[in-house]
C-alpha cells in the first residue's frame, strides 16, 4: 500500500509547537467554562470537578477541535468554548468508565480516579455536570446560531446510541459475550475524535464535503488509536491477553506485528482522505502528524 504523504515543509507545521502555543488558551477556556456550584452549597463538588479536569493529559481532543476549524479556513481561537466542551465530554466519559460498575479503575493519569477519591455518587454528578454544560458551550462561539444547532446535533449523535454510549455497552459485555466487529467496538474512541474535528469545522463554516473528509480521517485514526491501545495492553501483560476469553482483538489474534501493520494502513488511509481534500496545508500537516503520533504512542 502506498504511504500517502505529499511533500510539505516542516516550517510552522509542527504539531507539538502548535500544541505549545494553544495549550494556555485551552486551559483558560476549561477554567472559565467550569460548571461550578455556588460556594454557599458547601459540598466537595467543585473540588472533585477540578480534580477531574486539572491536570489532564495532552488535551489532544480540544486541539483536534481547533484544527478542525482551521483546516476549513476558520480560526481556532473562535471555537475555544467548543474545544472546552469536547474536553468536558471526554473527561465525563473517563469518570464514568472508571466507576465500579464499569472498569472499576482506582487510578487515572497516575493519580486517584474521581470516584476513588470523592465517592461514586459525587463522581457521577461531576460527569453529568460536565456533559450537561458541554451542550450550551456550543452556543458561546461567534458562529451563526444555525451552525451551533448543527454542532449540537453532532454532539447528540456522537454521544448517543450511534457512538459513545453503544461503544461503552460493548466494553461492558462480559467475557466472550460480545462478537461485535472491530468498527463497532471502537465506536466510543472514533466517535469522540469525529465529534472533535467536525464540531470545529461546523462552527467555522465547513462544507458537507469538508465534513465528509474529516469523518473519514477521524474514523481511520480512531480505529488506529483503539488498536494501538490493544497493542500496548498486550505488551503490558501478554500472559493475561493469551488466556483471555474476551472477544479477541487483532493484537491478540494476529500478534503485535499484524496489528501494527493494520495501524499503519489505517493512518495511511486517513492521511489520503485528508490530503486529497484539503491539500498540503499547514493544518493538514499537523493533523497528519497527529495520526503518526497515534500510531506510535507509548502511553
pLDDT (tens digit per residue) in 67-84: 999 999 999 999 999 999
How many Å apart are CA 205 and CA 12, to the nearest integer?
Answer: 24
- What is the residue range of 107's domain? 15-296
**pLDDT value, residue 177:** 53
CATH (domain of 149) = 1.10.600.10
Give CA torsion, residues 189, 191, 194, 200, to 10 deg. -110
- Cα pseudo-dihedral 162, 164, 169, 174, rounded to 10: 130
User: How many domains does the chain divide into?
Assistant: 1
Examine residue 20 and state whether it is found in any structural domain, yes or no.
Answer: yes
pLDDT along the chain (299 residues), means of 10: 41 83 96 93 90 89 97 96 97 94 90 96 96 96 95 92 80 58 66 95 97 95 87 65 50 66 92 95 95 86
Residue 196 has a pLDDT of 97
Has residue 3 been placed in a domain? no
What pLDDT is recorded for position 227? Answer: 87
Domain assignment of residue 62, yes or no: yes
- How many whole angstroms separate alpha carbon 71 and alpha carbon 286? 10
Amino acid at each position: 500500500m502506498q504511504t500517502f504523504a505529499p511533500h510539505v515543509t516542516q516550517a510552522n507545521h509542527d504539531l507539538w509547537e502548535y500544541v505549545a502555543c494553544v495549550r494556555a488558551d485551552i486551559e483558560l477556556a476549561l477554567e472559565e467554562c467550569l460548571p461550578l456550584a455556588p460556594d454557599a452549597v458547601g459540598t466537595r463538588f467543585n473540588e472533585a470537578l477540578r480534580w477531574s479536569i486539572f491536570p489532564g493529559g495532552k488535551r489532544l481532543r480540544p486541539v483536534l477541535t481547533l484544527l478542525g476549524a482551521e483546516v476549513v479556513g476558520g480560526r481556532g481561537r473562535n471555537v475555544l468554548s467548543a474545544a472546552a466542551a469536547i474536553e468536558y465530554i471526554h473527561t465525563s466519559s473517563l469518570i464514568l468508565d472508571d466507576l465500579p460498575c464499569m472498569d472499576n479503575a482506582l487510578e487515572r493519569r497516575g493519580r486517584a480516579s474521581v470516584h476513588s477519591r470523592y465517592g461514586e455518587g459525587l463522581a457521577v454528578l461531576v460527569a453529568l455536570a460536565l456533559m450537561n454544560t458541554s451542550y450550551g458551550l456550543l452556543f458561546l462561539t461567534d458562529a451563526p446560531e444555525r451552525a451551533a444547532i448543527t454542532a449540537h446535533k453532532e454532539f447528540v449523535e456522537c454521544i448517543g446510541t450511534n457512538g459513545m454510549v453503544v461503544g461503552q455497552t460493548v466494553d461492558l459485555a462480559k467475557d466472550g459475550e460480545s462478537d461485535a466487529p472491530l468498527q463497532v467496538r471502537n465506536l466510543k474512541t472514533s466517535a469522540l475524535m469525529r465529534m472533535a474535528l467536525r464540531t470545529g469545522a461546523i462552527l467555522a463554516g465547513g462544507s458537507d464535503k469538508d465534513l465528509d473528509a474529516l469523518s473519514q480521517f477521524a474514523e481511520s485514526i480512531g480505529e488506529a488509536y483503539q488498536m494501538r491501545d490493544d497493542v500496548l495492553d498486550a505488551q503490558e501483560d501478554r500472559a493475561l491477553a493469551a488466556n483471555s476469553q474476551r472477544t479477541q482483538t487483532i493484537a491478540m489474534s494476529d500478534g503485535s506485528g499484524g496489528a501494527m501493520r493494520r495501524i499503519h494502513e489505517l493512518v495511511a488511509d486517513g492521511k489520503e482522505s485528508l490530503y486529497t481534500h484539503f491539500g498540503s496545508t499547514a493544518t493538514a500537516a499537523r493533523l497528519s502528524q497527529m495520526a503518526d503520533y497515534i500510531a506510535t504512542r507509548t502511553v
